[in-house]
């Protein structure tokens, strides 16, 4: 039995907008992170698997409208939602993922079903929804994913795209945050510079690691765009021999750097620690191509690291029997 069981989660990385932060909003984020960590912690304390802990944590994060996954997902350029998710079991190296789904309530549960019941790893769009339907997953009307805050954020991104190129983020965000019509003026992280993907990584008492990641993608993305999140090795990776990783950030750069797998590969080939490998990917390799964001990772010894190169990342970790630790800023 491994006594180092631990779960870590993230709710996305981004630029802090301190001017528009209220202590109430900050407390709400901490409470949401704390509740999700407590649920994951209970599963691990009861001897549950890392796979169960990460899928339940991400399911809860998807159901929470504060985060950009499931309910609360961002809008595409067509004013729709397209959701991506992936999950991987470090004990077996089995993986499942889905992308561009529009009506599956919990994309992470569909990804888990792909892992368990399919010879394939990744399904897209209609095929992914057909697979989910055939396996009895819950479907919702597209309106289920709508939140006023994300809709407003999309309208700003759509209408001010040109202006965004001409202004720095703080100016634009500052203007929007003082707008009386803004339904979400108190989000601690600048919604215009925020990556709200959610993810979880865990080590269970049996010594296995797992990772799960889920997202609505980036605001105003083109229809059919797929980011790093559902790609094994880019947004999600797990191998007992090295570590479990879930990422958040500018997906195109995380794809080009094969970011999640790179952490594991550096541990395997350079024989560096989890922390050193993760630090190198986030602080050295991603910035080379202007990759912004962060990741969470655990290894089979129970080490945890949560590096990010943005001003903040919603994050936390918990070990059975200990009080969960949550944080937003540096
Ligand atoms: N990585 C995600 C994507 O590019 C975005 C995020 O982390 O919020 O789809």
- Kindly state whether residue 158 falls inside one of the protein's structural domains: no
Residue 203: domain span: 6-145+188-329
For residue 275, the model assigns a pLDDT of 98
Instruction: Choose between 172 and 222: higher pLDDT.
Output: 222
Q: What is the domain-level CATH number for residue 129?
A: 3.60.20.30
Report yes or no: 118 and 96 within 8 Å, Cβ to Cβ: yes
- Kindly state whether residue 38 falls inside one of the protein's structural domains: yes
For residue 253, the model assigns a pLDDT of 96
Please give the average per-residue pLDDT across 171-195, as a whole number: 47
181: pLDDT confidence band, cut at 50, 70 and 90? Answer: very low
Which of 15, 197, 213, 310 is flagged as catalytic?
197
- Kindly state whether residue 260 falls inside one of the protein's structural domains: yes
Question: Is residue 248 pLDDT above 80, yes or no?
Answer: yes
19: pLDDT confidence band, cut at 50, 70 and 90? Answer: low
Task: Measure the N-to-C terminal CA separation of the chain; round to a whole number of Å.
Answer: 34
- Kindly state whether residue 168 falls inside one of the protein's structural domains: no
**Ligand 1: centre distance to CA 108 (Å):** 15
- Kindly state whether residue 258 falls inside one of the protein's structural domains: yes
Domains identified in the chain, total number: 1
- Kindly state whether residue 68 falls inside one of the protein's structural domains: yes
56: pLDDT confidence band, cut at 50, 70 and 90? Answer: very high
The response to whether 178 counts as a known ligand-binding position is no
Question: Is residue 157 pLDDT above 90, yes or no?
Answer: no
Please give the average per-residue pLDDT across 12-27, as a whole number: 75
Q: Ligand 1: residues within 6 Å at CB?
A: 12, 68, 195-197, 215, 217-218, 227-229, 248-249, 251, 293
Write the DSSP assignment of 167-181 as a string of letters: S-HHHHHHHHHT-TT
Report d(CA 71, CA 310) in Å as an integer: 24
For residue 175, the model assigns a pLDDT of 35
pLDDT digits (tens, 9 = 90+) for 100-130: 999 999 999 999 999 999 999 999 999 999 9
- Kindly state whether residue 48 falls inside one of the protein's structural domains: yes
> Using the 8-state DSSP alphabet, how is residue 82 labeled?
-
For the chain, how are helix, strand and coil distributed in percent, rounded to 5? 40, 25, 35
Instruction: Retrieve residue 220's tokens.
Output: 């105003």
**Ligand 1: centre distance to CA 102 (Å):** 17
- Kindly state whether residue 164 falls inside one of the protein's structural domains: no
Tell me whether residue 219 is one of the annotated catalytic residues.
no
Q: Apex CA 310: angle with CA 309 and CA 311, to 5°?
A: 125
pTM tops 0.85: yes
Percent of the residues in the chain that have a pLDDT greater than 70, as a whole number: 87
- 162: enclosing H helix or E strand: helix 161-166
pLDDT digits (tens, 9 = 90+) for 159-172: 766 333 222 233 23
């Amino acid at each position: 039995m491994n006594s180092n069981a631990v779960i870590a989660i993230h709710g996305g990385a981004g630029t802090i907008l301190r001017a528009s932060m209220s202590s109430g909003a900050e407390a709400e984020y901490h409470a949401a992170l704390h509740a999700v960590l407590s649920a994951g912690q209970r599963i691990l304390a009861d001897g549950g698997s890392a796979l169960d802990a990460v899928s339940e944590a991400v399911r809860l994060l998807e159901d929470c409208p504060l985060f950009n996954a499931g309910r609360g997902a961002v809008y595409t350029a067509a004013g729709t939602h397209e959701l991506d998710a992936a999950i991987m079991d470090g004990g077996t190296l089995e993986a499942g993922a889905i992308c561009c789904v529009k009506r599956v309530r919990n994309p992470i549960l569909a990804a888990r079903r792909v892992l368990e019941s399919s010879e394939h790893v990744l399904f897209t769009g209609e095929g992914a929804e057909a697979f989910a339907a055939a396996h009895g997953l819950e479907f919702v009307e597209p309106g289920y994913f709508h939140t006023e805050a994300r809709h407003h954020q999309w309208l700003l991104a759509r209408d001010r795209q040109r202006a965004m190129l001409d202004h720095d983020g703080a100016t634009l965000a500052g203007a929007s945050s003082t707008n009386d019509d803004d339904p979400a003026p108190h989000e601690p992280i600048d919604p215009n510079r925020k990556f709200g993907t959610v993810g979880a990584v865990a080590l269970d008492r049996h010594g296995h690691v797992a990772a799960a990641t889920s997202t609505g993608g980036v605001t105003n993305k083109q229809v059919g765009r797929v980011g790093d999140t559902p790609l094994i090795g880019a947004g999600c990776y797990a191998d007992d021999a090295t570590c479990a990783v879930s990422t958040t950030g500018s997906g195109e750069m995380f794809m080009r750097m094969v970011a999640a797998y790179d952490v594991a590969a550096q541990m395997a080939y350079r024989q560096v620690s989890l922390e050193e490998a993760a630090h190198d990917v986030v602080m050295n390799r991603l910035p080379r191509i202007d990759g912004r964001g962060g990741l969470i990772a655990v290894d089979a010894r129970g080490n945890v690291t949560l590096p990010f190169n943005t001003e903040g990342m919603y994050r936390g970790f918990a070990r059975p029997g200990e009080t969960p630790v949550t944080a937003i800023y540096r």
